């Protein structure tokens, strides 16, 4: 599409947008002037669906009216609540329902999966991850490695971009995997890097990891609900993600887990167990000896967080109603492309502002990461002061993410205007 830098053009795109009505399904916070803010932070915390509160309230009512019997009675018995999320979750990540479960929070799930899928031996014990992965992932890996009696400096191998580059080249990732060969136990990377917004080639990384006998998993915090995923077909071993970013399920919302179907019937696979992972037909017989449920459900520990799962169910319904990832992705590429177009025409040098997210739409999702070498924090404060909500990532990046469910082309145009005023002062 040929973009134009005018309000009329942006409004024309909004008028043609098949998802235009979905913005009304979300609550948009006010800007300092009392008008709706320009919310570009769905990569950090997605907006609240209007249906979320009522969904939680229905469970408060069940708790009020049914109390303990709510586990088995009412329209949505709590004992099986997680199953209500299974089909939509599977569609979002390209999985079979048996391969997914919703439980806990993201870092907890990452640890649980690493217990099963990072099983080092004396010779095969290395973990490959991207340098500058989200800190929680770094800490998870560091402590997992220590728990196995290994030294993180030796066991963790980090992938860094080439000098002068910000993102990783797939061929360099492949080469590193091959080089590590028999010593590589597990590859664990973000599906999308939180800082640069780069999408990694998950299919290629999985193939390469498997070719040397390693397990391969992804932290999909920035990918789930943002880009199309095909975890089953890509043959990924394990993955986990949060629901509060592009899945709009509220702060601290429940996390999703994927375990490939080939592990579904391996009860002997090492794991940390709890009663909710126990065969649900026998669970209340309270027997000795752990017998896991089939598939990802066998990794559950505790009874489900129904209040947050109820919100998640309401939010997933919005994604489904919008047509799921294919429809969202179509709009997303245009929205982010329009933002990129408006930034590129500011006429700034790379020393002033540089988009470090790949220009190739196939290698990015909603987010653009703007590297501002000097006084970036001033620009960020200015954006916030005029009602543009993005986020700041140390040491010098502003992340802006137009989200297809609720952002408009006019939002993008208006952010472009704010940036143009700032650029004129540089």
Binding positions are 106-107, 134-137, 219, 222, 244, 275, 303
Q: Which is nearer to ligand PLP, 216 or 293 (CB)?
A: 216
State yes or no: residue 137 binds ligand PLP (CB under 6 A).
Answer: yes
Helix intervals (H) in 188-275:
202-211, 231-234
User: Of the ranges 171-179, 218-226, 289-297, 325-333, which one interacts with ligand PLP (CB under 6 A)?
Assistant: 218-226
Distance CA 143, CA 152 (A): 8
Q: Which is nearer to ligand PLP, 140 or 328 (CB)?
A: 140
Q: Which two tokens stand for residue 192?
A: 């999308």
Distance CA 176, CA 141 (A): 19
State yes or no: residue 111 binds ligand PLP (CB under 6 A).
Answer: no
Residues that constitute the known binding site for pyridoxal 5'-phosphate: 106-107, 134-137, 219, 222, 244, 275, 303
- The answer, yes or no, to whether the previous bond of 241 is cis (omega within 30 of 0) is no
State yes or no: residue 105 binds ligand PLP (CB under 6 A).
Answer: yes
Q: Which of residues 290-329 bind ligand PLP (CB under 6 A)?
A: none
Go through 199-222 and write b for each residue having 16 or more CB atoms within 10 A of its CB, e for each that does not: bbbbeebbebbbebebbbbbbbbb
User: Of the ranges 59-67, 134-142, 295-303, 395-403, which one interacts with ligand PLP (CB under 6 A)?
Assistant: 134-142
151: phi then psi, degrees, rounded to nearest 5: -100, 120
* Selection from 128, 136, 140 nearest residue 168 by Cα: 128
Q: Which is nearer to ligand PLP, 219 or 318 (CB)?
A: 219
CB 193, min distance to ligand PLP, A: 8
State yes or no: residue 258 binds ligand PLP (CB under 6 A).
Answer: no
251 by DSSP, 3-state: which?
Answer: coil
User: Of the ranges 18-26, 99-107, 168-176, 260-268, which one interacts with ligand PLP (CB under 6 A)?
Assistant: 99-107
Q: List the beta bridge partners of residue 159.
A: 130
Q: How do strand 238-241 and strand 215-219 relate by DSSP bridges?
A: parallel
The crossing angle, in degrees rounded to 10, of helices 86-93 and 306-321 is: 50
State yes or no: residue 238 binds ligand PLP (CB under 6 A).
Answer: no
* Selection from 310, 250, 281 nearest residue 82 by Cα: 310
Q: Which is nearer to ligand PLP, 45 or 419 (CB)?
A: 45
State yes or no: residue 136 binds ligand PLP (CB under 6 A).
Answer: yes
Candidate list 111, 126, 176, 222; residue touching ligand PLP; CB under 6 A: 222
CB 48, min distance to ligand PLP, A: 17
Distance CA 425, CA 412 (A): 20
Q: Which is nearer to ligand PLP, 256 or 387 (CB)?
A: 256
For residues 177 to 216, the per-residue mask of contacts with ligand PLP, x marking binding by CB under 6 A and - elsewhere, is -------------x---x----------------------
Q: Which is nearer to ligand PLP, 126 or 222 (CB)?
A: 222
Distance CA 254, CA 103 (A): 6
Q: How many CB atoms lie within 10 A of CB 424?
A: 9
Which one-letter DSSP state was computed for residue 37?
A: P
Q: What is the largest CA-CA distance in the chain?
A: 71
State yes or no: residue 256 binds ligand PLP (CB under 6 A).
Answer: no
State the sign of the Cα–Cα–Cα–Cα dihedral 44, 200, 137, 166: negative
210 Cβ neighbours under 8 A, 6+ residues apart: 216, 235
User: Of the ranges 104-112, 151-159, 331-339, 383-391, which one interacts with ligand PLP (CB under 6 A)?
Assistant: 104-112
Q: Which is nearer to ligand PLP, 130 or 318 (CB)?
A: 130
Q: Which is nearer to ligand PLP, 118 or 422 (CB)?
A: 118
The site for ligand PLP (CB under 6 A) is made up of 105-107, 134, 136-137, 190, 194, 219, 221-222, 242
């Amino acid at each position: 599409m040929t973009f134009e830098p005018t309000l009329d053009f942006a409004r024309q795109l909004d008028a043609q947008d098949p998802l235009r009505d979905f913005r009304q399904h979300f609550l948009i916070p006010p800007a300092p002037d009392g008008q709706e803010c320009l919310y570009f932070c769905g990569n950090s915390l997605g907006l609240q669906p209007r249906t979320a509160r009522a969904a939680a309230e229905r469970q408060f009512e069940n708790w009020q009216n049914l109390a303990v019997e709510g586990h088995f009675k009412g329209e949505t018995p709590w004992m099986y609540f997680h199953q209500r999320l299974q089909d939509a979750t599977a569609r979002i990540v390209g999985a079979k329902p048996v391969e997914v479960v919703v439980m806990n929070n993201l870092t907890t799930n990452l640890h649980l999966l690493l217990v099963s899928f990072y099983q080092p031996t004396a010779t095969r014990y290395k973990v490959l991850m991207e340098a500058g992965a989200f800190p929680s992932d770094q800490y998870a890996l560091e402590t997992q490695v220590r728990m196995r009696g290994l030294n993180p400096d030796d066991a963790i191998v980090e992938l860094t971009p080439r000098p002068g580059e910000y993102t990783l080249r797939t061929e360099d990732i492949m080469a590193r995997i091959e080089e590590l060969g028999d010593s590589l136990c597990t590859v664990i990377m973000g599906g999308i890097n939180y800082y640069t917004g780069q999408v990694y080639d998950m299919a290629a990384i999985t193939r390469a990891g498997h070719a040397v006998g390693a397990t391969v998993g992804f932290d999909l915090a920035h990918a789930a609900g943002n880009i199309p995923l095909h975890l089953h077909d890509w043959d990924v071993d394990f993955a986990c993600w949060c629901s509060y970013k592009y899945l709009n399920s509220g702060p601290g919302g429940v996390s999703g887990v994927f375990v490939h179907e080939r592990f579904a019937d391996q009860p002997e696979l090492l794991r940390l167990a709890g009663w909710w992972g126990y065969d649900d037909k026998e669970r209340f017989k309270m027997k000795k000896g752990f017998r896991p449920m089939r598939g990802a459900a066998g990794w559950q520990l505790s009874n489900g967080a129904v209040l947050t799962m109820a919100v998640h169910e309401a939010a997933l319904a919005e994604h489904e109603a919008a047509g799921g990832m294919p429809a969202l992705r179509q709009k997303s590429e245009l929205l982010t492309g329009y933002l990129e177009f408006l930034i590129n025409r500011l006429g700034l040098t790379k020393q002033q502002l540089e988009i470090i997210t790949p220009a190739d739409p196939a290698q990015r999702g909603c987010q653009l990461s703007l590297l501002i070498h000097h006084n970036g924090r001033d620009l960020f404060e200015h954006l916030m002061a005029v009602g543009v909500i993005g986020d700041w990532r140390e040491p010098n990046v502003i992340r802006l993410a137009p989200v297809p469910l609720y952002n408009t082309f006019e939002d993008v145009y208006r952010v472009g205007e704010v940036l143009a005023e700032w650029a004129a002062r540089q």
